Amino acid sequence: PGHLISAADLSRDETVLILDTAEEMARVADRPIKKLPTLRGRTVVNLFFEDSTRTRISFEAAAKRLSADVINFSAKGSSVSKGESLKDTALTLEAMGADAVVIRHGASGAPYRLATSGWIDGAVVNAGDGTHEHPTQALLDAFTLRRRLVGADAGIGRDLAGRRVTIVGDVLHSRVARSNVLLLHTLGAQVTLVAPPTLVPIGVERWPCEVSYDLDRVLPDSDAVMMLRVQRERMNAAFFPTEREYARRYGLDGDRMGRMPGHAVVMHPGPMNRGMEITAEVADSGRCTAVEQVANGVSIRMAVLYLLLGGNEPAVTHPLPRTE
Ligand code: CP
């Protein structure tokens, strides 16, 4: 099987194939019977070493809608808390016949290690690793953007060429930001990062995007503004501006949203810190796609599992690339 470890592994054509397949999957969700028999008899393991609400639930819903058997594993309450290694956990899953392992881990590189170790034969999907990547989040964000900015009937071959996406906030700790920059660039969008200087990663000049420290200047030229969660759990307080200072300079409130063009949308991957990077007024407005992003996440994860595990239906049978 192939694996999905990094947004960087996806070509434009492969990305568009996933987005188009997700459109087909979204149509299934509109039917009275939401299930496809495609992955009947296959087993998908959700292996979560870090907390998650959206990603874990949507991978489970996606696998079930494709009729796969689903095993949910979270490190809390497992033998990981007794010190069991990733290798021994993986060998246990292999013995249970996992066809795909969806892994979230606090260590950057853990999904790559799993995919290249030989411990398991199945497909590996990165559901977020440390501060590295979250490729299915970037795919669902691109899907949401394509629907909002290009149209629901985007059709085969449509990308985000020339669209301007501004990503704001704690870029330093954000796997969502890195995956989005890579994937949006692949789809032809122009990305600008806006962050406090202490929350910009070293080496960002090699990323395919612009960097700005002035949110108010960038907003009027944005087709979409993606607010990032401030990840206080990964942060040394000494490097962080006060909450009030952060909200004043980098938070999105109603006044700032008013500077955006009328067609522009506000995105947030969740979970949100309301009152910090985004006000309740903005989060609950019709311009914020946060809930839509969650719904789209099921369609994207159905598409990824379907393409990786090679469904029997004749719709699309193009595997994702191997990571090696
Ligand atoms: N966006 C996202 O990954 O959310 P969870 O941490 O709840 O999965």
Minimum CA distance residue for ligand 1 atom 1: 269
DSSP designation for 80: G
pLDDT at 314: 44
pLDDT of residue 32: 85
| pLDDT tens-place string over residues 261-289 | 999 999 999 999 999 999 999 999 999 99
Q: In what order do the strands lie in the sheet with 69-74?
A: 69-74, 43-48, 100-105, 123-129
Question: What pTM value is reported for the model?
Answer: 0.93
pLDDT tens per residue across span 153-190: 555 447 899 999 999 999 999 999 999 999 999 999 99
Query: Cα–Cα distance between 145 and 7 in angstroms, integer?
Result: 16
User: 111: how many CB neighbours lie within 10 A of its CB?
Assistant: 30
pLDDT at residue 318, as a whole number: 47
* Residue ranges lining ligand 1, Cβ < 6 Å: 52-55, 128, 137, 269-271
Nearest CA to ligand 1 atom 7: 53
**For ligand 1, atom 4, which residue shows the shortest CA distance?**
54
At residue 286, what is the residue type?
G
Pairing status of strand 123-129 against strand 69-74: unpaired
Contact 131, 234 (CB under 8 A): yes
- What domains are there in the chain, each with its CATH number? 7-134+294-309 (3.40.50.1370), 135-292 (3.40.50.1370)
